[in-house]
Amino acid sequence: MQAYSAFIERVKDIHRLGALQGHLGWDQETIMPAKGSEARSDILSWLAAERHTRLVDDEMGRLLTQLEQSSELDDDQQANVREMRRAYDKAIQLPAEFVAAFAKAKSEALLSWQKARAESDFLSFLPQLESLIDMTKRKIAYYGGEKNPYDVLLDEYEVGMKVTDYDPLFAGLRARLVPLLQNITEAQITRPDPTLPEGMRFSIEAQTEFCLKVSEAMGFDFSAGRMDASTHPFSAGLWPGDTRFTTRFDEKDPFSCLYAVMHETGHALYEQGLARIHSLTPRGDAVSLGVHESQSRFWENQIGRTTAFWETALPWFREQFPDAPDWKPEELNRIANTVSKGFIRVEADEVTYNLHVMLRYEIEKKIFNENLPVSDLPATWNAMFEEWFGVQVPNDTMGCLQDIHWSMGAFGYFPTYTLGNLYAAQLLESMQSDLGDIDTLVSSGDWSSLLQWLRPRIHEQGSKMSPAELIEYATGSPPSPEPFLRYVEAKYGSLYGL
């Protein structure tokens, strides 16, 4: 079909430009020398404008309309038309100069944030952050979203999700997580968590070797990907056959790196499992951030933070850290699942994690629906954190500067992390009923059946269905918070003898 071929050539060009942006973004955050930043901003801005120009091309609009009227398209082709229609409709509302300026502002803000975070200097980041928020508000205005501004942002990251969806969902979660946290805190008085020995150091080389082993055991193909270091760990499916993830190192705490690697490997396995035949088209892309996060959280938490995991991983750990205490798998599991009212989201346990997310959600809602002044952000963050967690934030590096997202203009992104936790728990229940006891599988050391279960049900489906349809396709049930609540209450109830 000629119109579809013409359409798909244009779609592939747009994806190529996106892959170039992704590649240069990866490079910027891992290995680019500092003085490359000005030229990097220029080229990223140029690529964004080129991509935008091609997306909003009149011929693209004409082809979309023609293909929407066709009855000859199969499911995969329809998915491509559907997804490009959504992207096209969003894009035609934004002027090309705005898109280019926004991309440039994001690139500059990212560098400013890196410096501000290192020095805990919010004021040095404030002008860039204000500019990003201002431009985001202009974007919302272009989309005609003045009435429910934050909904526009939420929908961008998980289609169909609004404040009226998240508000009751988060209230329901909070209603059961807060008492659970309270019970755990009380139990910790008489049952203190094991800790890492004071003063012990875990070398970066040994951490690297250990983590590469774990990532490989999960099924990551290192002949089709890489692991590097960056300030904030991330994963990027840059090109077919080339998926790269990053981690960070803390010589005092090997768990920080380990669970970053399991998390990012989870994302990266999704990217490696996408259908190659659909490369450079939406059908071959991951469907949503929520589903992406379900893959990372599944491996990081449901698999990685279990005694069964440590039964397999303990010999690898001992090989790299021969001077570490003679821990048993159960002890390592308790260390890995310590609940604490810590400051850093990415290091949070499964009980408090969603509270961290909700805090960011509430602040974003204030910024976009109530026009909170950006300069008030640290005070607002710190007050809310103290109210929810009962502890004082010592500085902005531990507070509102900790996440990369806002410096990338990614407002409305955080709530998808909680969706990921919910989906992951649902996938685990369903996998368990297909494969039998997952702990038995994990402690056997051969984890291949887990990945094999995920491949056809999630990874290979790409964006064929909507996120909600995909979860139902994979598990037989629509998305629900119940499996997560069952999982977290059972797990931590057992860990803390509740």
| Among the listed residues 18, 138, 150, 223, the single contact to its own copies using CB under 8 A | 223
Residues 472 and 461: their CA atoms lie apart, in Å, by 12
Q: Could you tell me how many residues of this chain bind its own copies (CB under 8 A)?
A: 31
Q: Does 36 bind its own copies (CB under 8 A)?
A: yes
Structure tokens at 326: 């003679």
Q: Does 215 bind its own copies (CB under 8 A)?
A: no
Q: Does 476 bind its own copies (CB under 8 A)?
A: no
Contacts of 102 (CB under 8 A, 6+ apart): 48, 135, 139, 409
Q: Does 219 bind its own copies (CB under 8 A)?
A: no
Residues 468 and 161: their CA atoms lie apart, in Å, by 11
Which stretch, 115-123, 172-180, 234-242, 319-327, contacts its own copies (CB under 8 A)? Answer: 234-242
Residue whose CB is less far from its own copies, 41 or 337: 41
| Among the listed residues 31, 175, 344, 383, the single contact to its own copies using CB under 8 A | 31
Structure tokens at 58: 């009149």
In the set 29, 83, 156, 264, the catalytic residue is: 264
Residue whose CB is less far from its own copies, 24 or 64: 24
| Among the listed residues 24, 339, 357, 424, the single contact to its own copies using CB under 8 A | 24
Contacts of 394 (CB under 8 A, 6+ apart): 343
Residue whose CB is less far from its own copies, 23 or 85: 23
| Among the listed residues 3, 6, 13, 61, the single contact to its own copies using CB under 8 A | 13
Query: Cβ of residue 87: shortest distance to its own copies, in angstroms?
Result: 20
Burial profile 420-437: b = 16 or more Cβ within 10 angstroms, e = fewer:
bbbbbbbbbbbbeeeeee
Query: Cβ of residue 284: shortest distance to its own copies, in angstroms?
Result: 12
For 480-483, the CB contacts below 8 A with 24+ separation are 480/422, 480/426, 481/169, 481/172, 481/173, 481/422, 483/422, 483/425, 483/426, 483/428, 483/429
Residue whose CB is less far from its own copies, 35 or 147: 35
Using CB under 8 A as the binding rule, the residues of this chain from 141 to 200 that contact its own copies are none
**What is the per-residue binding string for its own copies in 271-300, x denoting contact by CB under 8 A?**
--------x---------------------
Q: Does 5 bind its own copies (CB under 8 A)?
A: no
383 closest CA partner among 393, 373, 371: 393
Neighbours of 197 (CB within 10 A): 9
309 closest CA partner among 262, 253, 248, 348: 262
User: How are strands ordered across the β-sheet holding 242-247?
Assistant: 225-229, 242-247, 235-239
Q: Does 118 bind its own copies (CB under 8 A)?
A: no
Neighbours of 70 (CB within 10 A): 13
Q: Does 479 bind its own copies (CB under 8 A)?
A: no
Query: Cβ of residue 281: shortest distance to its own copies, in angstroms?
Result: 14
Could you tell me where the DSSP H helices lie in 324-397?
A: 329-336, 353-369, 377-389
Q: Does 46 bind its own copies (CB under 8 A)?
A: yes
* Catalytic site includes residue 264: yes
Q: Does 19 bind its own copies (CB under 8 A)?
A: yes
- Catalytically active residues are 264
Binding site for its own copies (CB under 8 A): 13, 16, 19-20, 23-24, 27, 31-40, 43, 46, 221-226, 238-242, 279
